[in-house]
């Protein structure tokens, strides 16, 4: 009896086996695992112990956030000078050039939304075996290139190349199941990286080195008038909507 060929695109399922007549339950289980992991990661990040336990992924979340700032600034005509990631998980992207208030607001907003967009694209890539592999290869390449060109800190030089090597190794040598798990796992990290510090999202800023520094939502509020908590809420709604839609697409048969 001739074996039925496997489809090139299948519902993302977090590596769980399923029979053909059990597609919907498998999709629901996979989405539940992704959402549960995202929620647990966000909760862990709000504690000192959790932040330390997830430190490599905390640094990766900082990279997602700061790269979005820097690349957006470069796209608007500024010079992306350097990216610094500290061992405690904090960091900054330094750029030079005149962007104006609205331009700075866009850079601030994309630091919050950009990582979620990248993460959602990786979650969607899990539907296709080819897209899954390419997603890992592209992520590894961007990690490697950014480390050489922009990263200027020891913590970044150590951790980011390790993630790049891991992404390349899984893309080239990993089986289909582990490639899918890896791209979904890393996609979740990008999608929820903005919630590494929920207080930061819903605050006007804070004192750093004796000076008051605006938060990203504070900078948006300064340029666009509405209060920082409004922009924090709007960005949260946008992130939830993007993640929800990406899960729907990833689970579509």
Element (H, E) at 44: helix 23-45
Question: What's the token pair of residue 179?
Answer: 């490639």
Residue 162 lies in a domain: yes
Question: What backbone phi and psi angles, to 5 degrees, belong to 78?
Answer: -85, 170
What per-residue confidence (pLDDT) applies to 13?
44
Residue 47 lies in a domain: yes
What per-residue confidence (pLDDT) applies to 208?
60
What CA–CA distance (Å, rounded) separates 162 from 168?
10
The answer to whether the predicted template modeling score (pTM) of the entire model surpasses 0.85 is no
Crossing angle of the two packed helices 100-125 and 129-149, in degrees rounded to 10 = 140
> 3-class DSSP state for residue 87?
coil
Element (H, E) at 247: helix 228-250
Number of domains in the chain: 1
Residue 57 lies in a domain: yes
Residues 214-246 pLDDT 10s:
889 999 999 888 999 999 999 999 998 998 888
Question: What's the token pair of residue 136?
Answer: 């890992």
Element (H, E) at 5: none
Burial-class residue 72 by CB neighbours within 10 Å (0-12, 13-18, 19+).
Answer: buried
What per-residue confidence (pLDDT) applies to 34?
67
What per-residue confidence (pLDDT) applies to 134?
93
Residue 90 lies in a domain: no
Element (H, E) at 92: strand 91-96
| Residues of the domain holding 164 | 23-85+99-250
Residue 129 lies in a domain: yes
DSSP 145: H
Is the CB of residue 156 less than 8 Å from the CB of residue 226?
Answer: no
What per-residue confidence (pLDDT) applies to 138?
94
Residue 61 lies in a domain: yes
Residue 7 lies in a domain: no
Q: Rounded to the nearest 5 degrees, what angle is found at the Cα of 99, between the Cα atoms of 199 and 120?
A: 50
What per-residue confidence (pLDDT) applies to 28?
59
Is the CB of residue 136 less than 8 Å from the CB of residue 142?
Answer: no
What per-residue confidence (pLDDT) applies to 234?
94
The sign one gets for the Cα dihedral 148, 154, 158, 163 is: negative
What CA–CA distance (Å, rounded) separates 25 from 38?
20
What CA–CA distance (Å, rounded) separates 31 from 201?
26
Residue 94 lies in a domain: no
Low-confidence ranges of the chain (pLDDT < 50): 1-23
């Amino acid at each position: 009896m001739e074996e039925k060929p496997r489809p090139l695109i299948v519902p993302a399922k977090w590596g769980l086996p399923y029979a053909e007549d059990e597609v919907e339950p498998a999709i629901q289980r996979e989405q539940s695992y992704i959402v549960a992991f995202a929620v647990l990661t966000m909760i862990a990040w709000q504690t000192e112990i959790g932040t330390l336990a997830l430190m490599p992924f905390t640094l990766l979340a900082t990279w997602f956030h700061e790269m979005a700032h820097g690349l957006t600034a470069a796209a608007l005509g500024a010079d992306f000078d350097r990216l610094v990631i500290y061992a405690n998980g904090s960091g900054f992207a330094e750029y030079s050039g005149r962007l104006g208030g609205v331009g700075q607001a866009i850079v601030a907003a994309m630091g919050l939304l950009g990582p979620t967009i990248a993460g959602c694209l990786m979650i969607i890539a899990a539907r296709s075996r080819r897209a899954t592999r390419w997603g890992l290869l592209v992520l590894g390449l961007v990690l490697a290139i950014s480390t050489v060109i922009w990263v200027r800190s020891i913590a970044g030089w150590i951790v980011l190349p390790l993630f790049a090597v891991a992404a390349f190794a899984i893309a080239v040598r990993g089986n289909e199941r582990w490639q899918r798990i890896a791209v979904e796992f890393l996609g979740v990290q990008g999608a929820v990286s903005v919630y590494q510090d929920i207080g930061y999202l819903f605050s006007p800023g804070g004192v750093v080195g004796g000076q008051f520094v605006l938060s990203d939502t504070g900078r948006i509020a300064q340029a666009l008038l509405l209060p920082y908590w409004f922009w924090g809420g709007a960005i949260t709604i946008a992130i939830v909507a993007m993640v929800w839609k990406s899960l729907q697409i990833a689970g579509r048969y």
